[in-house]
Amino acid sequence: MTGAPAKGVIVALVALLLMLPAWGSAYAISFLVSVLLYVALAGSWNLFSGTTGYASLGQGLFFGLGAYAFGVSTVLLKWHPVVGIVLAAAVSAVAAVLLGLVLLTTRIRVAYFAIVMLGVNEVVKTVVANIKAVGSSSGLTIPPLSTNLIAYYFLLFLAIGVTALSYLIKHSRWGLGLKAILADEVAAEVTGVGTVAHKMAMFVLSGTLIGPAGAMIAWYWSYIDPYIAFDLSVSFDMVVMSIFGGVGTVMGPVLGAVIISGVKEALSTSIPQFHTIIFGVLVLGLILWCPGGLMQVYRILHRRITGGPRPARSRGAQ
């Protein structure tokens, strides 16, 4: 589905989400807050890892940094929550710059990058858990939201913004440089593509967008501690959702986040004892059957229905 029909469906869906709180139940709003959170997180992870090939297993680090930046600013410094959200983005951006300067300028191998990011997340978690000024392992209690609709609309616009940004980058001159890096980084550098600049920019952009999401969820939960803020499951969910939907595509992370969140919710309420096993089998099955995720499934079905030519295999194809 491309062109005007696709744009019409997207506009209608956004309009529906904007109006939904007027008649949606509290449970529906709570569920959608979780879905929108992961649309934003998976899309942000995909902005870097899906466009450069540098898979990060510790991108949840920026989620935790954003959550703690918000908690410290609002609870300990008594700053306005809006300032706390801006601070969350700034702290995450600075952390991404510092990490990028160390990891992305040294030609570290892709596999090692994933492991190092995983290790950094665990180191920061341990450090924060031992700092008494920020509550140590007991965490911080944050004044709650006046209404959950604040979290709903914030994450809705963040999810829309991340998806739109992904589309703009993918179809820009900058996106061509990223495609070259994804195909062959050495060859891209030889042809004049600024590989370090491209990787740094996307890494910082990804971290900067994840930080405010962490801040809003900390406010929504009204509590944070190191073990939930820097929980590795946050990082792994970003990865799985993007792969499930289609890494390197615009709509893949969106579909992955929506469907996986829905399946997890349905299984956890219907068969709570076995839902993690069944969920894992479903995800693994799709990944093994179609490594390109749901977007590859869509392309296969679309080709069979329309009788079009077999598309070229591309990691970054939408």
For 291-306, the DSSP string reads TTHHHHHHHHHHHHHH
Q: Which of 83-92, 226-235, 276-285 has the lowest mean pLDDT?
A: 276-285
**205 pLDDT more than 80:** yes
Count CB neighbours of 43 within 10 A: 33
Q: How many other β-carbons are positioned within 10 Å of the β-carbon of residue 278?
A: 13
Average pLDDT over residues 89-102: 96
Task: List, for residues 246-300, the tens digit of each pLDDT value.
Answer: 898 999 999 999 999 998 888 877 777 776 777 778 777 777 777 777 777 777 7
Summarize the confidence of residues 195-220 as an average pLDDT.
Answer: 96
Q: Residue 308 — very low, low, confident or very high, per pLDDT cuts 50/70/90?
A: low
Which of the residue ranges 104-113, 175-184, 188-197 would you say has the lowest mean pLDDT?
104-113
C-alpha distances (whole Å) from 204 to each of 189, 225, 249, 260, 317 are: 20, 24, 19, 27, 23
Q: Which of 70-74, 110-114, 242-246 has the highest mean pLDDT?
A: 70-74
Structure tokens at 102: 């160390």
**Residue 154 tokens, joined:** 């914030």
Neighbours of 221 (CB within 10 A): 16
Report pLDDT for 4.
65
Q: How confident is the model at residue 109 (pLDDT cuts 50, 70, 90)?
A: confident
Q: What is the pLDDT of residue 266?
A: 85
Does residue 52 carry a pLDDT above 60? yes
Q: pLDDT band at residue 311, thresholds of 50, 70 and 90?
A: low
Alpha-carbon gap, residue 255 to 251, rounded angstroms: 6
Count the neighbouring beta carbons within 10 Å of the beta carbon of residue 301.
10
Check whether 310 has a pLDDT greater than 80. no
- In whole angstroms, give the CA distance from residue 175 to residue 46: 13
Residue pair 32/152 in contact by the 8 Å Cβ criterion: yes
Distance CA 180, CA 303 (A): 26
Whether the CB-CB separation of 242 and 46 falls below 8 Å is answered with yes
Range of weakest confidence among 8-12, 27-31, 159-163: 8-12
- Section 114-140 average pLDDT: 93
pLDDT band at 316 (very low <50, low <70, confident <90, very high): very low
Per-residue confidence (pLDDT) for residue 309, from 0 to 100: 59
Closest CA to 240 of 32, 45, 53: 45
Among the ranges given (78-92, 134-148, 280-294), the one the predictor scored with the smallest mean pLDDT: 280-294
Residue 3's pLDDT is what? 58
